[in-house]
Amino acid sequence: MTKTKVAVLISGRGSNMEALVRAAQDPACPFEIVLVVSNKPEAGGLATAQAAGVEAVAIGQREFAKDREAHERAINAVLRARGIQVVALAGYMRILTPFLVNAWEGRMLNIHPSLLPKYPGLDTHGRALQAGEVEAGCTVHLVTAGVDEGPVLGQARVSILPGDTEHSLSDRVLEQEHRLYVAVLAAFCRDLAGV
Ligand code: GRF
């Protein structure tokens, strides 16, 4: 089986990336994680990826000053050089410019810790608790120009329990994120390969 070559973009601990890397170790998995890129050189996920034998690259923003597109061009050059077919954003905490969004149109996925279209942006769990929601969850969607706005590929739901805090809720949602991202990316890559 030819596996789809996936790159994961992170900014921090990279637990979703790690879930994708682990899933990809199954010979039946339709994708391989070829590369992990972080915009933060200090991201913990870089060491996690390396420990799993995955190439991990930091492309920091500092040297590009305020030129966000130049930073993205540097990232894109590495993605193209490695023959990447699909990009998975996983806790990549920088809003993309149209350059990278357009370059990967239809081939870039993101995971967001809410049931989109509810609670795009930051502090999703705090806002869901504040609003008295009875359920929360996570969404994998295609990346388009609007932040957290692209077509939904899959969602997982989590009940909000009495006494839940942002911490307890985000822990439970995160477990579902790991499962959902693996399942949606696998289905996406099978579709792409026409199998
Ligand atoms: C996750 O909650 C993800 O949904 C959000 O940022 C968090 C990243 O966590 N976009 P991790 O780095 O994957 O552990």
pLDDT of 1: 79
- Across the range 165-171, mean pLDDT stands at 98
User: What is the per-residue pLDDT across 47-106, written as a single tens digit (0 to 9) for each?
Assistant: 999 999 999 999 999 889 889 999 999 999 999 999 999 999 999 999 999 999 999 999
Per-residue pLDDT tens digits for 4-15: 999 999 999 999
Rama region for 80: left / alpha / beta (φ>0; ψ in -120 to 50; rest): alpha
Ligand 1 pocket, mutate which of 48, 174, 184 (most atoms under 8 A from CB): 174
Which ligand 1 atom lies nearest to the CA of residue 110? 10
Mention every residue, 6+ apart, whose C-beta is less than 8 A from residue 136. Answer: 113, 114, 115, 124, 125, 128, 157, 158, 160, 169, 173
The structure tokens listed for 145 are 């120009």
Helix H or strand E encompassing 113: none
Q: Going by C-beta distance under 8 Å and a sequence separation of 6 or more, which residues neighbour residue 41?
A: 58, 60
Is the pLDDT at 160 greater than 90? The verdict is yes
Q: Which atom of ligand 1 is nearest to the CA of 111?
A: 4
Ligand 1 geometric centre to CA of 91 (Å): 4
Q: Which residue has the tokens 């990447």?
A: 84
Tell me the per-residue pLDDT of 17-38, one tens digit each, with 9 for 90 and over. Answer: 999 999 999 999 999 999 999 9
List the residue whose alpha carbon is closest to atom 10 of ligand 1: 91
Q: What is the per-residue pLDDT for 195?
A: 78
Whether 167 is catalytic is no
Distance CA 148, CA 130 (A): 20
- Compute, in degrees rounded to 10, the torsion defined by CA atoms 141, 144, 150, 153: -30
Q: Give per-residue pLDDT as tens, 108-118.
A: 999 999 999 99
Tell me how far CA of residue 194 lies from CA of 11, 27, 60, 84, 151, in angstroms: 32, 18, 36, 18, 20
